[in-house]
Amino acid sequence: MKQRKMYDASFQARVALEAIKGGRTLAEISKEYKVHPNQIVKWKKEALSKFSTLFIKTEDRELCEAKEEIERLYTEIGRMKIESDYLKKKLLK
């Protein structure tokens, strides 16, 4: 069984930054760092999505993360409520 490679955050950031710069092709970056191109694309997307929160103060960042978690939980509760109502209807028939 092939074991997954684990990359530290600084390595991931360096590779993602290289991809964001756009000076070289994905294939060139992949070959240099010995990382699959799909992984580089994933790291690049993650870096770009989190880039806007880079300059937010720690308290504000924690508040933002808490709001996102609350939204996710409300969505999950809504989904579960719909499933529960559906199953109750089916059970009563």
The pLDDT assigned to 86 comes to 92
DSSP 5: P
User: Whole domain around residue 72: which residue ranges?
Assistant: 56-93
Query: Mind listing the pLDDT tens digit for each residue in 20-54?
Result: 998 899 999 999 999 999 999 999 999 998 887 77
Say yes or no: 50 and 9 in one domain. Answer: yes
Do 67 and 89 have their domain in common?
Answer: yes
At 84 the three-state DSSP class reads helix
Within this chain, do residues 29 and 74 fall inside the same structural domain, yes or no?
Answer: no
Which pLDDT belongs to residue 43?
A: 94
**Are residues 37 and 1 part of one domain?**
yes
In this structure, the answer to whether residues 2 and 44 fall within a common structural domain is yes
CA–CA gap between residue 25 and residue 18 (Å, rounded): 10
First to last CA, the chain: 50
3-state secondary structure of 24: coil
CATH number, domain of 24, equals 1.10.10
Domain count, the chain: 2
Tens of pLDDT, residue by residue over 55-75, are: 767 777 788 889 999 999 999
Q: Please tell me the predicted confidence (pLDDT) of residue 40.
A: 94
5-31 core/surface letters (b: 16 or more CB in 10 A; e: else): eeeeeeebeebbebbeeeeeeeeebbe
Q: Judge if 67 and 80 occupy the same domain.
A: yes
